Amino acid sequence: MVKEVNVGLIGYSFMGKAHSRAYKEISMFYPDVKAVPVMKVICGRSEEAVKTAASRYGWEGYETSWEKLLQRDDIDLVDISVPGNLHQEIAVVAAEVGKDVFCEKPLANSLKDAKIMLKAVQKAGVKHMVGFNYRTVPAIALAKRIIDEGKVGEIYHFRAVYLQDWIVDPDFPLVWRLDKEVTGSGPLGDLAAHSIDIAHHLMGDIDEVVGMEETFIKERPLPAAAKEAGLAVEVAGGRGEVTVEDAVLFLARFKNGALGSFEATRFASGRKNFNGFEINGSKGSIAFNFQDMNKLLYFSREDESHVQGFRTILATESEHKYAGAWWPPGHIIGYGETFVNEVYELMQAIAEDRQPSPDFTDGVKCQAVLETVSKSIAKKNWVKVKS
């Protein structure tokens, strides 16, 4: 019999909408799913907005207090899709009352908080997952397969860029993603966190880092109400200080001897969600960028030299991990589908009574790198990563 998992989702904006769609569509695209999410309750502070979200996204009901949601006996899984400053408190209470926890990235606003969260879920013996959704892009899963099969050989370089441009306009308002108290950091935690997780997934652990950052626009207009499920907001009166970096770069040395470089910025005009990486090894290379997310570039030094060159693999065949759940070959998928794939991983793990992947251990590992990059920027020095 298929198990039912009653879900309580906290947050109804961008990630709340992405996760809602995933819960809704999972059985349609993954008929083999062993546990089915039941969309019990969605929670948010504004009653009017959360009520609208509940009915539009397909939730049975809504709450305006997360504390109340966590006390409900009919909730099995708590989904934390709110800004980072709330993650620790919600996750700890959720674990204490025996709920499984699915938390958006970065896991917390500090390594200390991330570790508290990990300890709480481990103590409670609940399932825990962190929302590094890009792991479920079929082309990235293919990159992992190609590396694990030894086709890239010994890896020398990991080169990541995560480029956006939504705040280049100096009059773009001071939204919560630019407020350190709420979000912990700028593109470091918001964007480089994804690149770091991909690096951990494909390459292994990072040994040491050295970084630099800049805040180009120091003050911005204060915002009025946020627009639903997007990054834009209306401007109100007055100006306030930007307390996070606008761009960050760091170098890394991996424990396996490879060299890494990471760049994350919201000031790359023309780049909208360019989450890209290239890996170079003794036998070949692979390259990916999310704006062309169905394709993986692969170069093999083992091809005959007269036909050597990067080949473009369209990762939509049924033998490509996750792709088989979707459309016939060549009928490409998009951003939203990665969340369905992610929820599939979570549901299978719950049904099989094992930890999903990536879990809070991966979240803490990423957080340790984020914090070490910040330390190295402050010290203007190389710093070893300790988790």
Please report, as residue ranges, which positions from 338 to 377 form the binding site for ligand SOE (by CB under 6 A): none
Looking at the Cβ atoms of 99 and 177, the one nearer to ligand SOE is 177
Q: Which single residue is written with the structure tokens 């479920």?
A: 136
CB of 275 to ligand SOE, least distance (A): 7
3-state class of 192 per DSSP?
Answer: helix
Looking at the Cβ atoms of 14 and 310, the one nearer to ligand SOE is 14
CB of 193 to ligand SOE, least distance (A): 8
Looking at the Cβ atoms of 77 and 130, the one nearer to ligand SOE is 130
- Kindly state the tokens that stand for 346: 């979570």
Looking at the Cβ atoms of 18 and 313, the one nearer to ligand SOE is 18
- Interface with ligand SOE (CB under 6 A), residue total 4
3-state class of 319 per DSSP?
Answer: coil
Task: Round to whole Å and give the CA distance between 50 and 348.
Answer: 29
Looking at the Cβ atoms of 273 and 355, the one nearer to ligand SOE is 273
Task: Round to whole Å and give the CA distance between 128 and 124.
Answer: 11
Task: Round to whole Å and give the CA distance between 257 and 166.
Answer: 35
CB of 190 to ligand SOE, least distance (A): 5
CB of 27 to ligand SOE, least distance (A): 25
Report the candidate in 13, 24, 3 with the shortest Cα–Cα distance to residue 340. Answer: 24
Task: Round to whole Å and give the CA distance between 197 and 352.
Answer: 24
- Kindly state the tokens that stand for 232: 């834009």
Task: Round to whole Å and give the CA distance between 332 and 285.
Answer: 23
Q: How far is CA 256 from CA 107, 154, 157, 202, in A?
A: 25, 9, 11, 12
For helices 47-57 and 14-29, angle between their N-to-C axes, nearest 10 degrees = 20
- Kindly state the tokens that stand for 84: 């980072």
Q: Is 190 in the site for ligand SOE (CB under 6 A)?
A: yes
Task: Round to whole Å and give the CA distance between 279 and 258.
Answer: 10
Torsion angle, CA of 133/136/141/143, rounded to 10 degrees? -40
Q: Is 21 in the site for ligand SOE (CB under 6 A)?
A: no
CB of 235 to ligand SOE, least distance (A): 19
Q: Which residues contact 301 (CB under 8 A, 6 or more apart)?
A: 153, 282, 283, 284, 308
> ω into residue 170 within 30 of 0, thus cis?
no
Of 273, 348, 357, 387, which one interacts with ligand SOE (CB under 6 A)?
273
- Apex CA 171: angle with CA 183 and CA 232, to 5°? 55
Looking at the Cβ atoms of 6 and 273, the one nearer to ligand SOE is 273
Looking at the Cβ atoms of 76 and 245, the one nearer to ligand SOE is 245
Looking at the Cβ atoms of 91 and 191, the one nearer to ligand SOE is 191
φ, ψ for residue 10, nearest 5 deg: -105, 115
CB–CB of 329/294 below 8 Å? no
Looking at the Cβ atoms of 194 and 365, the one nearer to ligand SOE is 194
Of all residues in the shown chain, the one whose CB is closest to ligand SOE is: 190
Please report, as residue ranges, which positions from 133 to 172 form the binding site for ligand SOE (by CB under 6 A): 164
CB of 14 to ligand SOE, least distance (A): 6
Looking at the Cβ atoms of 185 and 376, the one nearer to ligand SOE is 185
Q: List residues binding ligand SOE (CB under 6 A).
A: 14, 164, 190, 273
